[in-house]
A = this chain, B = another copy of it.
Amino acid sequence: MNIPLYLLGFLSRCGPQHGYRLKRLIAEMTADAADIKLPTVYYHLDKLQLQGHVTGSKSQEGKRPERSVYSITETGRKALQDMLAEALQFDYRPKFEADAVFFFIDSISKDVLVTTLNRYRERLEAVLAQLDDDREEGAAVPDMQSREMTEVVFSHYRHHYLAEVSWLSDTIDRLVAKGSRIPS
């Protein structure tokens, strides 16, 4: 997910942050397109610190355990530019986890498969509806720039969910057609 890019990017845009706040910032600003787990955030902040791309200033307040505010450094800004250039390579390599099933359907009845796929299609259509709701909500993202780009990202998901539905329809048709030719 190119996590360091998100971390440096938002540290640069929003100024010094605690790891925890940074994680939430990213989730909010990207409308959850990037939901990075908290331990993962700290893992990468540590690495970035070793590389000198961020500095963490520890500070003790009262009896609280130590906590750090992370800031991007000058070399961090350089690294950010490099990462952006790298990300511009745009390499799409999807993995369809569930496709394994198709290699072993001989142990599944065709009826069950078709029924399951139909249910899957219903769920996908629900996700699409949800996605449109979230888009409306994403319209609440503060700055203009981010909002427009959030639209681009939403559209990205939308296209692929539609593709999934379309493939599903084809596949169901194919299975049903085959079933009618060779009725079991």
- Tell me the number of copies of this protein: 2
A104: nearest chain-B partner, CB-CB: B9
Q: Are A9 and B103 in contact (CB under 8 A)?
A: yes
Chain B's closest residue to A149 (CB) is: B102
Please give the number of chain A residues whose Cβ is less than 8 angstroms from any Cβ of chain B in the complex: 62
Find out whether the CB atom of A163 lies under 8 angstroms from the CB atom of B170. no
- The yes or no answer to A126 lying at the interface (CB within 8 A) is no
B101 touching A88, Cβ below 8 Å: yes
Name A's interface SS.
helix
Say if the beta carbon of A130 comes within 8 Å of chain B.
Answer: no
Report A142 CB to chain B, min CB distance, Å: 13
**Residues of B contacting A176 in the complex (Cβ-Cβ under 8 angstroms):** none
- List B contacts of A96 (CB < 8 A): 33, 92, 153, 156-157
Please, which residues of chain B bring their CB within 8 A of the CB of A139? Answer: none
Judge whether B34 and A100 touch: CB under 8 Å: yes
A146: chain B residues within 8 A (beta carbon): 103
Q: Would you call B152 and A106 a contact (CB within 8 A)? A: no
Question: Which residues from 102 to 144 on chain A have a C-beta closer than 8 Å to any C-beta of chain B?
Answer: 102-108, 112-113, 116-117, 120, 123-124
A91/B97 contact (C-beta < 8 A), A84-B104, A160-B160 known = yes
